[in-house]
Amino acid sequence: MDKNRNQKVYNHYVPQFLLKNFSENDKSISMYIKDTGHYVKNAPIRKVAGSDYLYGENGKIEDIFCEVEGFAAGIIKKICSNEQLPKNKQDREFLYLFFTLSEARTKEFADNFTQVFNDFVKNTARFGMYSGLPGFAEFTDAEIEELKVTMEIPSLYSIKAAANMSDAITDLHMLLIVNRTKTPFIITDTPVTKYNYYLLNCKNIMGYGWYQNGIIALMPISNSYAIALVDTCIYRIRSFNKKKVVINDDDAIFQINKLFALQAKQFIYANQGIPAEYIEKLLNEKEELRALNTNKLLLTSLSVRSIKNHIQLPFLKMKVKPLYGQAHSSSDYYRKHTIPLLNCDNKTWIYKGEDK
């Protein structure tokens, strides 16, 4: 047996402890597949939201995530028990890291980066072929199209960047959303959903990034609780308690779940009490997505799909007018303290013409 080979074959990109918070029995969860409409009422948690050796065969990154999840599980358990965000500064700062890592570690990010890298290799080869560069001239279009590059840990790049990025988003206000209705929150294969009313109608904004003005990030943590990160320079929180908002309206929960469902790449997970018909209703509205088409570029960027549908988040109100059209200055797009980071690649990855 290879001692360097990780014995934890199936790597979960949505932590099992988090999925159990939505389950009725801690062992299974309902699963809805967007492409096919197939619904499984009791899918084993240990066999969903994961992929074989997603974080490599030596298990080092998987072991790190196990430690991260153990710490996160304790914090989130206290949040759900006490119905309040942690007062401890270290725990609160850790939650920002948990947000960025939870987004960056998904299979979608890994697949996206693999596609981006392959597009880059193919486009570079085409450029060399058409330019007659040595080593490339003998290629044909068909041969270039057959090129395929695989990576042991395709999400490594995004995971490293996410670990450094969390420090830059601590200015975002952390808010606990309490669901008092009988309809539980859902969770998906993209557990962090970003949205942005402020930039929703900007034609040249391809996606919503952590560094942008007006960013809102949502992560459901159980049937009854979700955590939000909000740019309070752009939005006012409609609550006397600025650290917690209580929702008693089923329509409001529907809107939030709808945003989660539209953001999902492929799989939607939920409490077994949620019927397939409810999830189908969430998906009745066609997704309006913006994403960078890397096939048309020689220099490519990694981005996340961003929902452009008009979703109502009733606990927020705009404090400033949203941007429309295009050709705004960078200070309109990005929070002031993050602008220098856009030109520094020693801590974060760079987006050219794209968001962070």
Residue 347 in this model has a pLDDT that exceeds 70: no
Kindly list the distances between the CA atom of residue 81 and the CA atoms of 100, 171, 234, 280, in Å, as whole numbers in the listed order. 24, 26, 31, 31
**Residue 183: DSSP 8-state:** S
What torsion, rounded to 10 degrees, do the Cα atoms 341, 345, 349, 353 define? 70
For 25-57, the pLDDT digits (tens) are: 999 999 999 999 999 999 999 999 999 999 999
Give the Cα separation of 288 and 290 in Å (integer): 7
Closest alpha carbon to 257 in 231, 283, 230: 283
Range with the poorest average pLDDT among 83-97, 160-174, 182-196, 213-227: 160-174
- Is residue 43 within 8 A of residue 28, CB to CB? The reply is yes
- The pair of three-digit structure tokens given for residue 140, joined into one six-digit string: 């044909």
For 112-144, the pLDDT digits (tens) are: 878 777 787 888 888 888 888 887 778 888 888
- The pair of three-digit structure tokens given for residue 175, joined into one six-digit string: 């808010």
pTM: 0.87
Give the Cα separation of 39 and 32 in Å (integer): 5
- The sheet that has 193-195: what strands, in order across it? 193-195, 216-220, 225-230, 173-179, 244-247
- Give residue 217's pLDDT: 97
- Give residue 270's pLDDT: 98
Over residues 231-245, the mean pLDDT reads: 92
* Residue 249: exposure state from Cβ atoms within 10 A (0-12, 13-18, ≥19): exposed
Reported as a pLDDT band with limits 50, 70 and 90, residue 157 is confident
Residue 108 CB coordination number (10 Å): 18
